[in-house]
Chain A
């Protein structure tokens, strides 16, 4: 009797859980998975409504054989890797440095997290007014006698090294990662580190063997979010990037809004590549860090 009660209680509990989850699952399956599948179908030239019932790989062939696409893939990966790496390093450094100030004072915390609330589009526009060759920094350089004309100032926006884009990402994402790291530091306190120091560990050793393992569980997912975001973001490269080669999301959007309908399957193929590549790189990264955090 009690066993049966226990069982049905268990079943009830499970039912309850799934009922709670159903709305969220519905949204994700219908919109996210549905959107991906609709995109996948279109990328395979499968679109029964306009009489396309024979799926094929033409769009992928066209896209993967296109030098513009390959260069774009390289540029996108380069930007995401660089921006994520710089933001992560800066964030850990800033979090360690600012820990005493930020955690104790609401104002400092507020200042540090301020640009989390500033949309990327605004950041990008600000960066362009600041760093373009006719921008504020260039004008200051000229009034300091360092340059004579705009062209003397280094190209930092729409430049070959995507510096403007990376600066914007670092500017916006460093506080994001920093706050995640700070939250961990706050929750674990300084006891472990002081213990390590009192046991004779040097600064570097303490950092490497105590602090890092502590913050890694927050740093890894935070940097994954940053990588995924920068890999798929549209606004910043659209505003600060070069015309060619551009990043994949901009390329996909351009093909999608190309008035030539034939470009649509290619746009979908590019977006499938964006989805696939970012998923692949992220799982590789997670596997790698899991490996290292164990070893």
Chain B
């Protein structure tokens, strides 16, 4: 167990050390000069961390809202019902999961430029729906598959309004699963590189783009610091949702349904 956990943490370790190093050359195992310079550089306005964070959060929030509004109804329809054409629908929803995004993004790019939504946060958010909507739909359909609609019927027959039923019966049952799905949707959106690069055209610079630009130019210390900034929200999100995840396969049921 310990070994495994070490293996899991190993690639993160050099990033952390690099972020507080200065002139760390081979063959030094530890940096000869420790420095917070990379953190200062990352936080300096010239390097656009604030702007990139703003872009990342704006896009991912929009994606999360849209994908939830689109994916939850579809997930409910799929999770609770058998109907003719269901296989076609499932096939369509699975397709974006198994067909790589790169293959679709190149085609979408031309369309977006023509309709004037390339190079904008909106365009990037819309293209992020391609990987997120199918994910969320499947996940939510798994949540609803474990949900007994009889509870809704009982509530209604006991005189509860449709809204009250949703509020006091449906939401508590599926809420945690949907929340975890929304959280992960946020993470999926904020980790997109190629889609953002292509559709954002350099004007929507999210954290992964900023990170790539430093990593590719050999600024290891800055790339290390930026990596830590970048993974922090995901770790926090996981910690917050781990209560709902552990021992409860509902949130991951969507993935099993493939």
A28/B194 contact (C-beta < 8 A), A117-B231, A228-B100, A271-B103 known: no
> For window 1-32 of chain B, which residues contact chain A by CB distance below 8 Å?
1, 4-5, 7-15, 17-18, 26-29
- 17 cross-chain CB contacts under 8 A: A21-B78, A21-B89, A39-B104, A109-B247, A110-B242, A114-B9, A118-B231, A122-B12, A125-B15, A126-B15, A129-B224, A183-B253, A224-B258, A228-B99, A231-B100, A272-B103, A274-B103
Instruction: Taking A118-B234, A267-B106, A271-B106 as given, write out 15 further A-B residue pairs in contact, using a Cβ cutoff of 8 Å, ordered by the A residue number.
Output: A28-B96, A32-B92, A35-B130, A38-B108, A97-B1, A119-B234, A125-B215, A126-B14, A129-B11, A129-B15, A135-B14, A142-B27, A143-B29, A175-B8, A235-B194
Binary contact track B232-258/A, C-beta < 8 Å → 1, others 0: 001101110011011111001101111
At the interface, yes or no: A154 with Cβ under 8 Å from chain B? no
8 Å CB contact of B255 from A130, A175, A180, A229: A180
A39/B107 contact (C-beta < 8 A), A27-B133, A101-B1, A129-B18 known: yes
8 Å CB contact of A183 from B17, B71, B101, B256: B256
What is the interface of chain B, defined by CB distance below 8 A to chain A?
Answer: 1, 4-5, 7-15, 17-18, 26-29, 69-71, 73-74, 76-78, 81, 83, 89, 92-93, 95-108, 110-111, 114, 126-127, 129-130, 133-134, 137, 187, 191, 193-194, 208, 211-212, 215-216, 220, 223-224, 227, 230-231, 234-235, 237-239, 242-243, 245-249, 252-253, 255-258
Counting chain B CB atoms within 10 Å of each CB, the highest count among A24, A106, A179 belongs to A24
CB of A206 to closest CB in B, whole Å: 22
Q: Say whether B26 contacts A139, CB under 8 Å.
A: yes
Residues of A within 8 A of B223 (CB): 125
A24/B93 contact (C-beta < 8 A), A39-B103, A274-B100, A275-B103 known: yes
Q: Say whether B191 contacts A119, CB under 8 Å.
A: yes
Q: Say whether A110 contacts B103, CB under 8 Å.
A: no
Give A40 to B4 CA distance when docked, in angstroms: 44
Residues of B within 8 A of A233 (CB): 100
Closest to B76 in A: A20
Counting chain A CB atoms within 10 Å of each CB, the highest count among B70, B100, B234 belongs to B100
Residues of A within 8 A of B127 (CB): 31
At the interface, yes or no: A171 with Cβ under 8 Å from chain B? yes
A24/B70 contact (C-beta < 8 A), A35-B111, A271-B103 known: yes
Among the listed stretches A1-9, A58-66, A193-201, A249-257, which one makes contact with chain B, having 4 or more residues with CB under 8 Å of it?
Answer: A249-257
At the interface, yes or no: A214 with Cβ under 8 Å from chain B? no
- The A/B interface has a contact count, at CB < 8 Å, of 278
Residues of A within 8 A of B239 (CB): 110
At the interface, yes or no: A290 with Cβ under 8 Å from chain B? no
Give A101 to B7 CA distance when docked, in angstroms: 17
B interface, by DSSP: helix, strand, loop or mixed?
helix
Residues of A within 8 A of B89 (CB): 21, 25
Binary contact track A103-121/B, C-beta < 8 Å → 1, others 0: 1001011111111111111
Residues of A within 8 A of B208 (CB): 119, 121, 235
Closest to B30 in A: A139
Residues of A within 8 A of B137 (CB): 24
Residues of A within 8 A of B230 (CB): 119, 122
Q: Say whether A225 contacts B238, CB under 8 Å.
A: no
Q: Say whether A143 contacts B27, CB under 8 Å.
A: yes
